[in-house]
Structure formats: structure tokens, C-alpha cells
Amino acid sequence: MLVAMTKILARELMDDEIRVNCICPGLIKTNFSQALWSQGEQSAAEGMGVKRLGVPEDIAGAVRFLLSREASYMTG
């Protein structure tokens, strides 16, 4: 649903030169998600491609990129 909404908003706001992107991370190791990984961090990460939980810095880098000039062509 989030991805579909992002694509729709990107098309709707394109003429106003507003870019719309979303980030849909997997499990990120934060206090908020602690209940999901505290009993076994390795088992929680097994289904992930990188075989580890993400950390907030992983997402911050993606956000930083999307806000930069290098991502000015990316939308939706």
C-alpha cells in the first residue's frame, strides 16, 4: 500500500516539481522494534538477504541520498 501510494503521489505531484519516494526497510535494530529481535537477533536476521539486522545509520544513508542532488532524477 505504501509503495502504491508513493507511485500515485509521485505522478500527481510531478508537474509541481515535487519528488515523492519512500523507504521500506526490513527489521531495524531500535528500541521500538526490540520485541522482535531481543530473543534471538540471529534468528530474526536469517530471512534477510544481508543476514543481519539493519541499524538506524543504514536508513539515514538512504535518506541522505534521496535528499541529495544525486537523486534528483528519482521519484516514485
Share the mean pLDDT of the chain: 90
Please report, for residues 3, 22, 51, the alpha-carbon distance to residue 45 in angstroms, rounded to integers and kept in the order given.
23, 22, 5
Region 10-20 average pLDDT = 96
- pLDDT band of residue 73 (cuts 50, 70, 90) is very high
Cα separation of the two ends of the chain: 13
Region 57-63 average pLDDT = 94
Distance CA 43, CA 25 (A): 18
Name the pTM for this structure. 0.72
Give 25-55 as a DSSP string.
-S-B-SSTTHHHHTT-HHHHHTTSTTSS-B-
pLDDT digits (tens, 9 = 90+) for 40-57: 877 777 877 788 888 999
